[in-house]
Chains A and B, each alone.
Chain A
Amino acid sequence: MNQTPPRRVPWQLPRQQQQGQHQTQSQNAVSDELASAFAYPPLEGFNDEVYEDNGEQRDHWQYVLDSLETLGAEALTDRQQKASRILRDDGATYNLSATPGNRQTWSLDPVPLLIESEEWNGIESSLVERSELFDLVLQDIYGPRDLIRHGVIPPELIFSHAGFLRQCHGIKIPGEQQLILHNVDMVRDTDGQMCVIGDRTQAPSGAGYALENRTVMSRVLPSLFRDSHVHRLSLFFQALRLKLAALCPGDDIPHVVVLTPGAYSETYFEHTLLANYLGYPLVQGADLTVRGGQVWMKTLDGLKRVDVILRRLDDYFCDTVELRSDSQLGVPGLLDVVRCGQVVVANPLGSGVLEHPALLKYLPAIGKHFLGREPQLRSVETYWCGEDSDRQYVLDHFDEMIIKTTFRRSGDHSIFGSELSAEEKQDWMRRIETKPLNFVGQRYHLPSTAPNWSQQGLVSRPLVLRSFAVANSSSYTIMPGGLTRVGTGDNKMIISSQLGSTSKDTWVLASEPEKQVSLNRDNGLVVGSGADQGMHLPSRVAENLFWMGRYAERADASLRLLRTVFMQLNSIEPLSVSARDTLLYAVTQVSTTYPGFIGGTGPITLAIDKELLSVILDETRPGTVASNIQAMLVSSEEVKEMLSADTQRVLNDLRDALADLDGALRLGLTSAPEEALDPLVTTLLALAGLSHESLVRGTGWRFLEMGRTLEKSYQMTSLLQSTLVSDQSESDLATVLESVLLTFEMLVSYRRRYRSGVEITSSLQLLMIDKANPRSLLFQLTALKEHIDNLPDTSHALGMNPQGRCLLEAMTAVQLADLHEMGVCDQTSGSRVKLEQVLGKVQKLLGRTATLISDKYFDHRIEHQQLVPDRWEDE
């Protein structure tokens, strides 16, 4: 994997020099430390990847371990930290649950797992055989069912499995194989042979994480990686792209999409990574629709036909018409389109049945039936409780067993018989007795161990290797290596990403350097750019970018005003009560945190500090800074695949800044609270700058900018309205004007330009109609108009589009407004009537523009319901 995506700016890696410095400082002391840190003696009773049976270190480990030792403990820890930083910047997470905050950065150990080329060849061919066999099983289950008819497997095994979807009977996808992707989890048995502990077939995950691991490793340990001649991963992904293209029978380039359950699915990061790497749009169920017997993607430009869906959504959720009726994640009517051959879903719907762990027990027999021989790759000894004798065996040997349910649901974990209390054991045994068909017992295999880097040095940890197979025109291509997952403690026998384990890059060592293959140069296939799909951008993505821009500006506007208010409240010259109240009133108006400071009569009596704190920090209250930033982050998650690594980094900073702010302000507002807000203001600025500097000027960018400019314009009108419309004393007006200018950081330029005291007409000139001032209302309206005009319009309507017209009217209103008239206060009403009229008009027009944009471009999701409400499916 040499083609690190260009969006990433390489980190400055510590060079030889730095290490030299470090070594000269305390060379002797360190070398002792090093010796102990890198000592990795064989552990009695464990089968370690580094050692032969006789205790000799394997040759291929020697080089890597020596190199790491030369690098030194401190440097290695440093590299490890760099790796986690890159992972965090890439947004590499594993979501533990469906709550936004519960994300865990993917964890990578800097010591790779090494496999020799020769051994790998053997593993690879047995994996190919296994995938071919699983494919035959899949074809049989949804076809002739010979395995059942001939008594090779008990009928109940399939018939009772929730993954067996009768609705999918008889469906065939083009090509030799039905099974497109197949993941296999293996451990090394005590005799050194690989042993399969499970298969993943419905929406198999992990290949993207393996890719990310490789990318990061090649960056943090570049020379070691280069010198080790590691087999590259790109061929696997190339094979995947070729296969997906081949699934569409037509001549045209097929439209492939990656279907994700959404931003809060466990492996969402991987979905975004794969979509970008493979160059396919990432869609959610609601981005697709079935019309006229075909599947379409809802784009800005209307519906676009979809030919192939690489799904990461479980079978069950894919179609509410025929499958699970309470799911809103899928595409209603999808299965019937699949059945008619108008779209191909990979892996095919129904393939989840192959994950039935009891199939492992029958694989030798299945192998004999289909191939005339038992498969080479062995599987873990499995006892299916649906067979009387097996059930008895499981119950009798409970302490030696791992108990698994036959149908994996989210949150299900394997149970270790030996780790249960007597009571729990009884409970499990009872569950097994009641529903024996739903359980298997598997004999626990002590996994092999490999060195893992920890603060103390190398420690040995158990590991599971997940391998990846993808169908090619006649058989299967196996990713060299795969994803190695490592248990986190010595006694942790379960290795599961859900339970928080770390991972390793897996290096299959070639005897000589491989020729490089880049995904982007394969067989003339056009690579769609994930970054700019033009009008083919899914509507949801455009909508989220639009809102990302809006929320960012809302947070920004409130933050800036609050900063000013804090400064004025704490200024040396005391603030008059009326001026203070005008500013506080503006805080509520601009942030829309009603009722806030509005509502009372007379001077504000509300606890000011408390309310201001709440306007900043209260995430649950709409309009607060925290809630706007949260909403912005949520929108950004939905468009993760569109964002650069830099943007991801800024978003991370924003998360951190928000958390820090909470810490800094919770104690009270005593010392310079405005300074505590600075990091957030700066980070938001950085985000805006990035959008300007590093986003491709595509349609997506326009939507982000439209959101920004729309909101900036609106915020300006809102601030002016709440501060300047009402009449006030001359000194108050001066304070308020100064505050407004300060809020927009224009006080200095005002003074430079007018060289006089702050005065309303010239302030309005600067704030509203100065075309040279990027913060002025007219500047923002003009920018918004430009974005709207530059959106590709395929409606072919004559003349200006309605949203453009709306804006032109707003711009004209601002330009025609007489500054002096606006500055004059009407004596009878006690307010600046003209100013109020102009601002009110602009606000109304902006509101209408937003609605028009939304109506024209965004998909208004409608939840669907069952024609006949049915609740009986809940098993």
Chain B
Amino acid sequence: MLYRIKHVTHYQYDQPVTLCYNHAHLMPRDTYYQRCMESHINIKPYPISIHERTDYFGNKVCYFSLESKHSSLDISVDSRVCLDNERVDLGVDLDIGNTCRQALEKLRTSIDEEVFLAREFILCSPMIKPSDELRDYAAPFFQDNVSLLSAARELTRHIYNDFTYDPNSTTVATPLKEVLEKRRGVCQDFAHLAIGCLRSLGFPARYVSGYLETLPPPGTEKLAGSDASHAWFAVYSPGEGWFEFDPTNNNVPGDQHITTAWGRDYSDVTPVRGVIFEGGDSQVLTVSVDVQRLES
């Protein structure tokens, strides 16, 4: 499966910005199932310095800075990503593997370095604080003898059913507690919610950002720029690896989920982060995303 993804971010400033330093998590990383064939980043106005590196989590980051006056900033990323068809065919049986109790036991006792490193994802992270409320919400699905993955699938289903997708209900800074109370949010909130639940129960979970291929209603043309960036989560089962779930769509990511980056939460993989000098009091951000399937 080959995709072409165009992701354009546009900032319009109130007043000219004289200086800015940014870093962007916009270029898809390689994963077990995915290979980023190419990815170009194009910034307007042209930045005085720009370079790429791999961050702590293995994501691609692009650093750039602008030192001349500008009133708007355009960041366009054009990527081609190849997804392994096997992933779909793998047909993981969620009922086998570690039970919840076994998973917890192995997390505590295993001396496998992969397990040691995964334990980082049980801890608090800047945007996700485990809590009793989160634990209480998810505990019923994670019975001792249930397999961890089927429990995670169940959690995904419940979030999908219990929560309303509502882009106007939250912002990037809405605390998890509020999302849980209001029962509304967007993909980022739902991913955070699931991660918070898993961590509250002692399981490693991480945040995955990326894209989802959307298909227009039958008989209509797909609109340009109508896609959006997306987010879901992954849970770690000791000795078995990381498994992804999408609570916004109530499914298991397959050949329509393209990964950009992962981290402990959104703050590790914020698409564009930076500091600007001047620029006035307000700025308008517009984002457009196109996910186009080139070949199956």
Contact = CB atoms under 8 A, between A and B. Distances in A.
Contacts of B122: 156
Contacts of A336: 21, 23, 63
B117 A872 contact: no
B276 A292 contact: no
Contact of B274 (A155, A166, A321, A872): A321
A36 interface: no
A151 interface: yes
A155 B120 contact: yes
A862 B278 contact: yes
A865 B53 CA distance: 24
Contact of A321 (B21, B124, B126): B21
A868 B117 contact: no
Nearest to A170: B56
A866 interface: yes
A166 B270 contact: no
A681 B84 CA distance: 84
Interface in B90-146: 111, 113, 116-117, 119-120, 122-124, 126-127
A322 B268 CA distance: 10
Contacts of B18: 862
Interface in A143-159: 145, 148-151, 155-156, 159
A149 B56 contact: no
B188 to A, nearest CB: 12
Nearest to B128: A872
A327 to B, nearest CB: 10
Interface in A51-108: none
Contacts of A864: 19, 275-277
Interface string B17-51: 01111110000000000000000000000001101
A339 B21 CA distance: 15
A869 B11 CA distance: 14
Given A145-B117, A151-B116, A292-B49, A321 B111 contact: no
A872 B113 contact: no
Interface residues on B, range: 35 or more
Contacts of A169: 55-56
A867 B120 contact: no
A872 B273 CA distance: 14
A146 to B, nearest CB: 9
A151 B122 CA distance: 17
A409 B119 CA distance: 25
B267 interface: yes
A751 interface: no
Nearest to A322: B23
Interface in B266-287: 267-268, 270, 272-279, 283
A149 B21 contact: no
Given A292-B67, A293-B49, A321-B23, A867 B123 contact: no
B61 to A, nearest CB: 10
Contacts of B126: 872-873, 875
A511 interface: no
A296 to B, nearest CB: 11
B172 interface: yes
B278 A873 contact: no
A384 to B, nearest CB: 14
B113 A866 contact: no
A462 to B, nearest CB: 37
B27 to A, nearest CB: 17
B173 interface: yes
A437 interface: yes
Given A292-B48, A321-B23, A865-B279, A148 B117 contact: yes
Interface string A307-341: 00000000000001110010000001100100110
Contacts of B120: 155, 159
Contacts of A340: 51
B65 interface: yes
Interface in B241-296: 267-268, 270, 272-279, 283
Contacts of A875: 124, 126
A490 interface: no
A866 B275 contact: yes
A872 B127 contact: yes
A870 interface: yes
B111 A151 contact: yes
A290 interface: yes
Contacts of B119: 155-156, 159
Contacts of A292: 48-49, 67
A784 B127 CA distance: 57
Given A321-B273, A321-B275, A864-B275, A149 B113 contact: yes
A149 B117 contact: yes
A169 B22 CA distance: 18
A7 interface: no
Interface in A375-424: none
A865 B275 contact: yes
A399 B116 CA distance: 34
Contacts of A170: 56
Contact of A290 (B21, B117, B172): B21
B267 A867 contact: no
B110 to A, nearest CB: 9
Contacts of B63: 336
Nearest to B57: A166
Given A169-B56, A872-B267, A867 B51 contact: no
Given A437-B123, A873-B267, A875-B126, A332 B275 contact: yes
A697 interface: no
A160 interface: yes
Nearest to B171: A869
- Nearest 5 CB-CB pairings of A with B: A149-B113, A333-B21, A166-B56, A867-B274, A169-B56
Given A292-B49, A868-B274, 20 more contacts: A149-B116, A150-B113, A166-B55, A166-B268, A169-B56, A291-B67, A293-B49, A321-B22, A321-B274, A322-B273, A333-B65, A336-B23, A865-B279, A867-B272, A867-B283, A868-B172, A868-B273, A870-B172, A870-B267, A873-B126
